[in-house]
Amino acid sequence: MRLDERVALVTGTGPNIGREIAQTLARAGATVVCNDVDAEAAADCARSIEGAGGQAIPSAGDVGDEAQVATIVQRGIDAYGYVDVLVNNAAITHPKGVLETETADWERVIRVNLTGSFLMSREVARRLVDQGRGGAIVNIASTSGHRGRADALAYCSAKGGVLNMTRAMAMDLVTHGIRVNSVTPTKTGISVGSLESSTERFYAEIPMERLGEPEDQANAVLFLASDASAFCTGVDIRVDGGSLATWGLQPKAMEQFRRAAGA
């Protein structure tokens, strides 16, 4: 799968999923615009790509701020003429339930995770339509967007919105040659691996009995960004080790349950 002559803008390119996506797209031939709210994280991502022989620039900014979104995209267009692949990965969490979540915290998570994906998609799509170009938008969702989870009200709500926004946006843009799809990761990479006390519980939720690796998600994004998925739009690819396919107990735990019940 190649992305030669494509310009990809990836948001949230700090360590873990976002940076791996940016690096994977670059290895496939794309020129990459690395965005992060942390300017140094965006610059580090661009340097890592250039150090490996690729082409990239940083474009720092807050995807939840409409004025900054226009600037983020314009930097890529000023440098390369167009942006025809967008990956909406930027996200934040707030580990509180409905009773503890303050309005400001709710609005902050929705603004970055859902509104930010909308603003970035709208800006890139408008530029593509004006230029008469097709393109691909990939939204990063979450298993938390498919089901309820305690103490993650705003995050679950935002990611659920991302999933249906993807489908609606795909229908809006299909006649313009712009495909819109999503990837659903499960717990992935360093941000979860550092929680050693919780690792066994995480494994119990994943039938393939491991946490996701950033490469797992990046390869799915590469597929959706490339012509290999030319007939796919409005699709969600679940890169979750089977988490959403099970009703709650992964196969080993189910076998233990049967034995305990004498089945």
Q: CA 36: distance to chain centroid?
A: 13
Q: Is residue 85 a part of any domain in this protein? A: yes
Check residue 54 and give its pLDDT: 99
Q: What is the pLDDT of residue 27?
A: 99
Q: How many domains does the chain have?
A: 1
**CA distance to 63, 68, 120, per residue, from 72 (Å):** 8, 6, 9
- 211 Cβ partners below 8 Å, 6+ apart? 186, 187, 188, 189, 192, 193, 199, 202, 203
Q: What is the structure's pLDDT at 263?
A: 52
pLDDT of residue 192: 44
pTM of this structure: 0.92
Residue 80 lies in a domain: yes
d(CA 147, CA 155): 11
**Over the chain (263 residues), what is each successive 10-residue block's mean pLDDT?**
98 96 99 99 99 99 98 99 99 97 98 99 99 99 94 98 99 99 89 52 78 96 99 98 80 64 60
Whether 174 is covered by a domain: the verdict is yes
101 token code pair = 């979540």
- Decide if 18 is inside a domain: yes
Note whether residue 240 is domain-resident. yes
Report DSSP letters for the chain, one per residue. ---TT-EEEES--STTHHHHHHHHHHHTT-EEEE--SSHHHHHHHHHHHHHTT--EEE----TT-HHHHHHHHHHHHHHHS---EEEE---------TTT--HHHHHHHHIIIIIHHHHHHHHHHHHHHHHT--EEEEEE--GGGTS--TT-HHHHHHHHHHHHHHHHHHHHHGGGTEEEEEEEE-SBSHHHHT-GGGHHHHHHT-TT-S-B-HHHHHHHHHHHHSGGGTT--S-EEEESTTGGGSSSS-HHHHHHHHHHHT-
In a domain? residue 16: yes
Domain-located, residue 1: no
The CATH number of whichever domain residue 128 belongs to comes to 3.40.50.720
136: Cα within 13 Å, side-chain hemisphere? 27
Task: Show which residues are catalytic.
Answer: 155
For 2, 56, 199, the CA distances from 52, given in Å and listed in that order, are: 17, 11, 33
Structural domain harbouring 185: 7-261
